[in-house]
Amino acid sequence: MNKQPTRRSTLLAAAMGVTLVFGAVSQVNAQSMAERNAQRRANKESSKGSTTKAENQFPNATRTAPDAKASSKGGAKLQKMMEFYDKEKAAEARAVADEIIANTAFNAYERSFAAQIGAQLAYDGDDSKAAIAYLKQALEFNGLDNNGHFGAMFMMAQLQLQEDQYADSLATADRFLAETKSTKPEHLIVRGNALYRLERYPEAAKAIKQAIDASPEPKVEWQQLLMASYIENNQGADAAKIAEAIAAKTPNDKRAQMNVAAVYSQADMLDKAAVVLEKVRAAGQFTEDKDYRQLYATYLNLDGKEKEAAGVITEGLEKGVLKPDYQAYVALAQSYYFSDQTAKSIDAYKKAAPLAPDGETYLNLARVLWQEDRIPEAKEAAKQAIAKGVKKPDDANKILALKGK
């Protein structure tokens, strides 16, 4: 009978999966105060039927903008809505907007503009679903100039993304790009984001890279999304290049460094992952339980690095950062055992076994004790193993049958 615990059966149980520590790319750009004030001024001028021509934001658009403006009756109604809007009386402004939208006597421009304002009010009130409904109406009425029309379409694509309506967001983004012919990176990235959410990773990577290449200063979160797309598409080397570039720009940023290590791990470049993690540890930035787990798991999956794993676990426990749970203690026991520190391995097993979900850890403890000729203790551990339940009770019974008290 094999007296010692098998390496893989318990090492893999101790190893923790690693994940990238960045959040999802921002799906809707929050307006700054300056942008909100500028939008209010534009809306106010538009409601008055201002003849001042705004810069065409979509010069290559295929749509011919309608030559629509407010009627005398409609203009007065829009003015009333905007007075409420400017005074931040959202409920009153939205009620007037709804009235205009519902009344077919008002023209396409008036109803489109009211729907546009309704969407902004709903969005400001954290009612994204209602905002999407308003935006759909603004597009259906088809009364806005190209700036307003396509601005509404782009906002709808973003909000659909935020509401997990990924297929709808992609359809809206595709329509927007087809009709505007826009190559602006802030427009392209929404399509890439939607493709990523739909798990269409090769297409997502292509779209996101297009956005990044079109931007003189691509946002870090765009690069992170491309990195995630590469990982999901098993392009570990490409993901690593991005992670390395981000980390090189921010050498003291723990999150960036941990991301590099995570990408290396997922690309099966564990030796590189360990080097990066050790630098973070040496900088005193291991402040969370998961930090120590990521490093010791990396060492446990590298041949001949069990001693290093034991050192990491011990440090984490002594500092009170690594939680003293079953996973930590069984990993410590394994690390000591395979680095020929049997006595320390036994001590760690004794801490891990009572916390284990079954009796397998007690059985491994019994085997190690037997190997050290500590028969009475081995028998006691075997009894505990049977009591908690093991897959192969015969193995425990053989230990119980050993000669010696």
Q: Of the candidates 197, 282, 273, which has an alpha carbon nearest to the alpha carbon of residue 240?
A: 273
Chain centre distance of CA 342: 41
Length of the chain: 405
Sequence-separated contacts (24+) of 246-251 with Cβ below 8 Å: 246/220, 247/276
Residue 43, pLDDT score:
55
Q: Of the candidates 313, 304, 374, which has an alpha carbon nearest to the alpha carbon of residue 346?
A: 374
Give burial (CB, 10 Å; 0-12/13-18/19+) of 343.
Answer: exposed
> Can you read off the two tokens belonging to residue 141?
């009425």
Name the helix (H) or strand (E) containing 392. Answer: none
Report how far residue 304's alpha carbon sits from residue 248's, in angstroms, rounded to the nearest whole number: 29
The identity of residue 351, as a single letter, is K
SS (H, E, C) 142-203: CCCCHHHHHHHHHHHHHHHHHCCCHHHHHHHHHHHHHHHCCCCHHHHHHHHHHHHHCCCHHH
Residue 25, pLDDT score:
37
Chain centre distance of CA 198: 14
Give burial (CB, 10 Å; 0-12/13-18/19+) of 232.
Answer: middle
Residue 192, pLDDT score:
97
Residue 67, pLDDT score:
86
Sequence-separated contacts (24+) of 223-228 with Cβ below 8 Å: 224/20, 224/22, 224/25, 224/259, 225/24, 225/25, 225/189, 225/192, 225/193, 225/196, 226/192, 227/20, 227/259, 227/263, 228/20, 228/196
Report how far residue 130's alpha carbon sits from residue 158's, in angstroms, rounded to the nearest whole number: 14
Contact 221, 22 (CB under 8 A): yes
Report how far residue 111's alpha carbon sits from residue 117's, in angstroms, rounded to the nearest whole number: 10
**pLDDT digit string (tens) for the chain, length 405 residues:** 444 554 433 333 333 344 444 433 344 343 333 444 455 555 555 555 544 567 899 999 999 999 878 888 889 999 999 999 999 999 999 999 999 999 999 999 999 999 999 999 999 999 999 999 999 999 999 999 999 999 999 999 999 999 999 999 999 999 999 999 999 999 999 999 999 999 999 999 999 999 999 999 999 899 989 999 999 999 989 999 998 988 888 888 999 899 899 999 988 899 999 999 999 999 999 999 999 999 999 999 999 999 999 999 999 999 999 999 999 999 999 999 999 999 999 999 999 999 999 999 999 999 999 999 999 999 999 999 999 999 999 999 999 999 876
